[in-house]
Amino acid sequence: MFIDVILDRTAVPIDEDVFTTLLENSVAGTYKVYERALEKRIIKFSDLMFLASRGDIPYSLFFAPLPHVREQVRKKTDKLLAGVSRDTFSIGSRSKVELRDVELIVKDLIRKQQLVRKHDPSLERNKLVGLLQRPGPSVDADAARLSSALGLSHEMLRTCRSKADALDLMIERLEANQVLVSQSVQHHMPQRLTHVKFSGMSIRDNKVPYIFLAGGDHGDDQEPTGRTIFTLTLMTVLVARRIFAPMTWDGGSTETDPGREYDIAGAMLMPTERMKSINPTTLDDMRAASDQFKVTPSAVTVRAMRLGLVSGKTASGYLDELREEFRRKPTGGPRNKILPENAVRKYAGREFTQRMLHALDSMSITPGEFCRTVCLNQLRPTQLGDLRRAVG
């Protein structure tokens, strides 16, 4: 079977297996022009070049023998898997993440890890990676050990004025421990995430592991900031457990055992003794406790169920009511456009950006290279003063 590539009114056939192998293993396989080509068995050369560009594929590979193409795809996948597992780490969720859904982001964050390792000789071996690889005597003991290593106590989070402040504090403590944190910024990343639902991913490195937090709708109808705080805590636990993978989790699921990692994250944010002291049993209790713990009412509900403070049937009823309550909330008006320097700070992460600005100041990297690799050409050299002010 062949696909005809049209160039100057001339049809050049290429092997359909080559075509699908290359594109199904890249983000370009999500574009409609690819689907149309398979349906009509014909594609313009300009459209083929577009797909090759979006998929980071040398276009000459479309005309190569199938065994050679398969070997090139295998090498590319092996390189990606050096930083992140192909398997999705799922908690109470049936969703799976295909590698192609996040591959350009993975590749970019791995490049950023390599860049900061090259230009920052002060980096030390990360003390959080693998900290909980061997389970401790209890979930609470593991939670206390990780919190202590982070330098982040429950009291510090409780006294934050808002959930947004608590999230900033958590990111600050992670970055102080050489864990880089990247947050999704649509239209300012190498790849669209509009077609995929996942919570985030952790990318392997013994000095500067990256945590990527995916934004958008996770399909479980929860307030975004409180959910992100739990996601970040859960991703931190995975780094400490030396698990590096895309992750999906259903924050409102009571049907399956979410596992030890979920319970460690829960104990870090909602300590057992404090939960038992508050003893939340009504839905209003769950809402009030969520403000104290800086998480969602759903997270408090599931934690209370896991501790035996409410039954599974009661928790399930509360979660249904919370979902419906969230759905009834107004979605709000249009979002303000994010400034490019703030987009760079959010996606690349403050700590990574600051370290690379130090490299720029020491002239170990040129302004042009900085704008290309750190800013993804979102900023010009003349705008780097704006970035300095954004990162503080």
DSSP assignments along 83-103, one per residue: TS-SS-EEES------HHHHH
- C-alpha span between 214 and 366 (Å, rounded): 30
d(CA 286, CA 298): 8
Please check whether residues 234 and 352 belong to one and the same domain. Answer: no
pTM of the predicted protein model: 0.81
Q: Is residue 236 part of a domain?
A: yes
**What's the distance, Cα to Cα, between the start and end of the chain in Å?**
57
- Give the pLDDT score at 332: 56
Question: Which domain does 354 fall in, by range?
Answer: 340-391
Residue at 124 is within a domain: yes
Helices within 151-223 (DSSP H only): 154-158, 163-176
- The pair of structure tokens assigned to 205 is 């490195």
Burial bucket for residue 326 (CB in 10 Å: 0-12, 13-18, 19+)? middle
Same domain, 316 and 366: no
Residues 224 and 368 in one domain: no
- CA-based R_g, the chain, Å: 23
Q: How far apart are CA 165 and CA 143, in angstroms?
A: 21
Give dist(CA 170, CA 237) in Å, integer: 13
Q: Are residues 248 and 168 in the same domain?
A: yes
Residues of the chain with pLDDT under 70: 27, 30, 80-83, 85-86, 92, 94, 194-195, 216-221, 251-257, 331-335
The angle that helices 384-391 and 350-361 make with each other, rounded to 10 degrees, is 130
The secondary element (H helix, E strand) that includes residue 15 is strand 10-15
Same domain for 253 and 387: no
Taking the C-alpha atoms of residue 60 and residue 49, their distance in angstroms, rounded to an integer, is: 10
Q: Each residue of 220-236: b (16+ CB within 10 Å) or e?
A: bbbbebbbbbbbbbbbb
93 and 74 both lie in a single domain: no
Largest CA distance in the chain: 77
- Rounded CA-CA distance 355/121 in Å is 11
Q: Which of 281, 299, 328 is the last residue of a domain?
A: 328
108 within some domain: yes
Which of 328, 351, 378 terminates a domain? The answer is 328
In a domain, 335, yes or no: no
Q: What is the pLDDT of residue 330?
A: 75
Together in a domain, 278 and 140: yes
Residue 73 lies in a domain: yes
Residue 297 lies in a domain: yes
- The answer to the question of residue 333 being in a domain is no
Is 294 in the same domain as 179? yes
Q: Same domain, yes or no, for 53 and 165?
A: no
Give me the sign of the Cα torsion angle 143, 289, 179, 363: negative
Pick the last residue of a domain from 48, 78, 108. Answer: 78
3-class DSSP state for residue 214?
coil
Q: Indicate the number of domains in the chain.
A: 3
On whether residue 317 sits in a domain, the answer given is yes
Same domain? For 218 and 155 the reply is yes
Q: Are 283 and 318 in contact (CB under 8 A)?
A: yes
Together in a domain, 225 and 359: no
Residue 362 sits in the same domain as residue 318: no
